[in-house]
Chain A
């Protein structure tokens, strides 16, 4: 099978789902698909989806890797708050932009490494290990902002959230760029392969000489890094750090995006692209409900409904049923083949 057709087949369910959702929205809300240029900058609902998806998409990149190692990272919403708080407080204290960015990213990586220590060294279940930072993280963020919404006025930094370059909003560059770099890092080196092996069977992988601990560390560190970038975008966008609400429940959206993207929560084979399409699906639903004039109260219900349908279709029970049908079809050709072979 050709590589590209195989990859397309892997992405087909997510692409079809996205197309259907966009199609339905454009029926309800005409003009949804139009993209216009104003003041040399692209505008339109589709662009809006790509911009608004930035935080979730960034988290999704890291979360995909963590889930591939058979982990989960509940703390990234809180890490967004922490990094946002760090960035805001550094800016208000007058540090230069590169310093602010470097320190914020460093804090994100440190948060990821903390999770990595708990999971890889102390062997604590990931869901529990990251719960600690999820609970404590917002407290830490509030400690940094001293309980207030820390606002600032710095146009260069806020460009990260609301600026544009060559007509395209900067958040889009940030998440696409991050996804591209991480994706290349995974597939052009052996990292992706080794992470998959670790996620499927950590013990067997270790016995084959795979340094599972290092890989788990790497996954959580990248997850923390992605959360830090997301945290800066969120903070830059509203020109302030809200320790209570920044990134609230975004980790759950990211997990859903990964699940919708078809990567198993049991770890193993992963596709960052599919997860990102999952993130776009979720953001399309959010934006779609908004532009199609439904009362916002319906937002969660519709989202939950769609998610439940997707989950049911992807559930192991339904998959086994589908696999059974596929298998019995394949078997016919198989028995054919063996008959000929024995002849």
Chain B
């Protein structure tokens, strides 16, 4: 009877916020035993759709049917009770509780009205054993790694809901091995007949794990297709629309090879910090872009933190123009002419309630000290100049920066450093989480800056981006600098080999 219906069927879903449509007439169908990837650029409406399906938001229009019965989950608890469970990317479980308490929060086994801790422990162990996890369930969640927490979250969601599992960017902070483990769990769940929705940015992973894909763009449905009959290029064009050619051209228009750019002006020798990054040597010449590649957790961001003085190095020396420099804090780094655009834009980059103009002059004001304020006329001038040259939209310097899109925020942070006229700019994942247009502009700007003689360090997990933009790429693995590639050696394959090569020697 129920086999006639799809497991979860959403029809004509519409939702708007403050009158601005976020989702418009979107259909979504999930079958039993199906892993369904939900793709789209930022702002495409993926998370809005997920939140409607899981009861966080209420839809304005449309119907949702689970097993053929119409449902309208009003909150997360109701959606769970109906059988729809979710694992979110970051806000997940509670670190201050034990594993068992996390698994059974809100539904603890009880005896005589009191929580039965022994039963909870036993059931937790049994539950996790199904996922191949044999851990101390009475230990605090905080004592386990992200990958294990993710599995615990999945175990909880599946046990709680049992029909539909929604995973929002589950692999964002896992390494390759952990992703493999996660996928084998997902396959097992698929065998058991669960419908799984997975949101991810990694196309490789989509092809590896998903059966079907639904693509959203600008709040509308682009299409829903079986992956077995969908070539990769077509999927990308579904996601990006016409912008695809633009992108490929952008990447090809970068034939630069390393040439003689004079003596290195900034040298780090035997620079490192115990428990963070093993000592490394790094020379940076004026007008050079040095890429940093490596998997998550390989020490990429840690390298940036060391170079910018956020973490203090415990070995080695830094020299600038032949003179010893002591980069023990961001202020010292800035005084030496460094700038740093961090990866976590929201928490480490923008000062949300301040205006775009205030954000742009922040670093300059900080380096001048509090006694020498930047006049408001000066501030206006600087802000307007950079809003214009970087095409920050909307072009309103008084608007609080938190109301700007990710790409425009990133440009404003870039502007913050450009006003200080740095000699070295460190960019950590400068294009993560921003739209295609801003992405291309930022790459173009990196080029322009280095042609003006600025040195740049670009950390990125997109290898193609690195090979396109960098003159040299430093490869990291296991918190060590394992290779430096330049010239004709500089290809994505070579980088991957360099990362993988050390893995092999480690294993041996």
* Chain B 243-282 near chain A by CB (<8 Å), digits 1 or 0: 0000000000000000000000000000000000000000
- Tell me the smallest distance from the CB of A116 to a CB of chain B, in Å: 16
- Tell me the smallest distance from the CB of B265 to a CB of chain A, in Å: 21
Chain-B contact segment, one of A12-20, A158-166, A191-199, A244-252: A191-199
- Tell me the smallest distance from the CB of B454 to a CB of chain A, in Å: 18
Chain A residues lying within 8 Å of B373, measured Cβ to Cβ, are 188-190, 193
Whether the Cβ atoms of B342 and A194 lie closer than 8 Å is no
Please tell me if A328 contacts chain B, counting CB pairs below 8 Å.
Answer: yes
Whether the Cβ atoms of A201 and B347 lie closer than 8 Å is yes
* Chain A 132-154 near chain B by CB (<8 Å), digits 1 or 0: 00000000000000000000000
Please tell me if A268 contacts chain B, counting CB pairs below 8 Å.
Answer: yes
- Tell me the smallest distance from the CB of A320 to a CB of chain B, in Å: 11
Chain A residues lying within 8 Å of B348, measured Cβ to Cβ, are 203-204, 207
Please tell me if B365 contacts chain A, counting CB pairs below 8 Å.
Answer: yes
Please tell me if B322 contacts chain A, counting CB pairs below 8 Å.
Answer: no
Please tell me if B372 contacts chain A, counting CB pairs below 8 Å.
Answer: yes
Chain A residues lying within 8 Å of B368, measured Cβ to Cβ, are 190
Please tell me if B340 contacts chain A, counting CB pairs below 8 Å.
Answer: yes
Q: Say yes or no: A190-B372 contact (C-beta < 8 A), given A208-B363, A211-B331, A331-B19.
A: yes
- Selected from B310, B351, B369, the residue in CB contact (under 8 A) with A204 is B351
CA of A194 to CA of B373, assembled, Å? 10
* Chain A 166-205 near chain B by CB (<8 Å), digits 1 or 0: 0000000000000000000000111101101100110111
Please tell me if B353 contacts chain A, counting CB pairs below 8 Å.
Answer: yes
CA of A207 to CA of B362, assembled, Å? 10
Chain A residues lying within 8 Å of B310, measured Cβ to Cβ, are 207
- Of A207, A211, A268, most B-chain CB atoms within 10 Å: A207
In the complex formed, the residue of A with least CB distance to B416 is A208
Whether the Cβ atoms of B342 and A197 lie closer than 8 Å is no
* Chain B 370-409 near chain A by CB (<8 Å), digits 1 or 0: 1111100000000000000000000000000000000000
In the complex formed, the residue of B with least CB distance to A205 is B351
CA of A223 to CA of B366, assembled, Å? 23
Please tell me if B184 contacts chain A, counting CB pairs below 8 Å.
Answer: no
CA of A200 to CA of B354, assembled, Å? 8
Q: Say yes or no: A328-B340 contact (C-beta < 8 A), given A194-B365, A210-B362, A211-B366.
A: no
Q: Which chain A residues in 203-256 approach chain B with CB under 8 Å?
A: 203-211, 215
In the complex formed, the residue of B with least CB distance to A324 is B18
- Tell me the smallest distance from the CB of B366 to a CB of chain A, in Å: 4
Whether the Cβ atoms of B330 and A331 lie closer than 8 Å is no
Chain B residues lying within 8 Å of A188, measured Cβ to Cβ, are 373
Chain A residues lying within 8 Å of B416, measured Cβ to Cβ, are 208
Q: Say yes or no: A204-B350 contact (C-beta < 8 A), given A190-B368, A190-B370, A190-B372.
A: yes
Whether the Cβ atoms of A268 and B366 lie closer than 8 Å is no
Q: How many A-B residue pairs have CB under 8 A?
A: 78
Q: Say yes or no: A268-B330 contact (C-beta < 8 A), given A190-B374, A207-B340.
A: no
- Tell me the smallest distance from the CB of A142 to a CB of chain B, in Å: 38
- Of B342, B354, B358, B370, most A-chain CB atoms within 10 Å: B370
CA of A191 to CA of B369, assembled, Å? 9
Q: Which chain A residues in 292-334 approach chain B with CB under 8 Å?
A: 324, 327-328, 331
- Tell me the smallest distance from the CB of A75 to a CB of chain B, in Å: 25
Whether the Cβ atoms of A328 and B18 lie closer than 8 Å is yes
Please tell me if A52 contacts chain B, counting CB pairs below 8 Å.
Answer: no
CA of A144 to CA of B164, assembled, Å? 69
Chain A residues lying within 8 Å of B369, measured Cβ to Cβ, are 190
- Selected from A197, A200, A210, A328, the residue in CB contact (under 8 A) with B19 is A328
Q: Say yes or no: A327-B351 contact (C-beta < 8 A), given A190-B372, A205-B362, A207-B340.
A: no
Whether the Cβ atoms of A197 and B20 lie closer than 8 Å is no
Chain A residues lying within 8 Å of B340, measured Cβ to Cβ, are 207
- Selected from B334, B342, B349, B354, the residue in CB contact (under 8 A) with A196 is B354
Q: Say yes or no: A203-B347 contact (C-beta < 8 A), given A188-B373, A189-B371, A193-B358.
A: yes
- Tell me the smallest distance from the CB of A215 to a CB of chain B, in Å: 8
* Chain A 62-105 near chain B by CB (<8 Å), digits 1 or 0: 00000000000000000000000000000000000000000000
* Chain B 304-331 near chain A by CB (<8 Å), digits 1 or 0: 0000101000000000000000000011
Chain B residues lying within 8 Å of A196, measured Cβ to Cβ, are 353-354
Whether the Cβ atoms of A200 and B330 lie closer than 8 Å is no
Please tell me if B367 contacts chain A, counting CB pairs below 8 Å.
Answer: yes
Chain A residues lying within 8 Å of B366, measured Cβ to Cβ, are 194, 205, 208-211
* Chain B 113-133 near chain A by CB (<8 Å), digits 1 or 0: 000000000000000000000
CA of A200 to CA of B416, assembled, Å? 17
Given contacts A200-B353, A205-B366, A209-B330, 11 further A-B contacts (CB under 8 A): A189-B370, A190-B370, A190-B373, A193-B373, A196-B354, A204-B350, A205-B362, A208-B366, A210-B362, A268-B354, A331-B20
What are 12 A-B pairs with beta-carbon distances under 8 A? A194-B370, A196-B354, A201-B350, A203-B347, A207-B330, A207-B340, A208-B362, A209-B363, A210-B362, A210-B366, A269-B354, A324-B18
Using CB atoms and an 8 Å cutoff, list the residues of chain A in contact with chain B: 188-191, 193-194, 196-197, 200-201, 203-211, 215, 268-269, 324, 327-328, 331
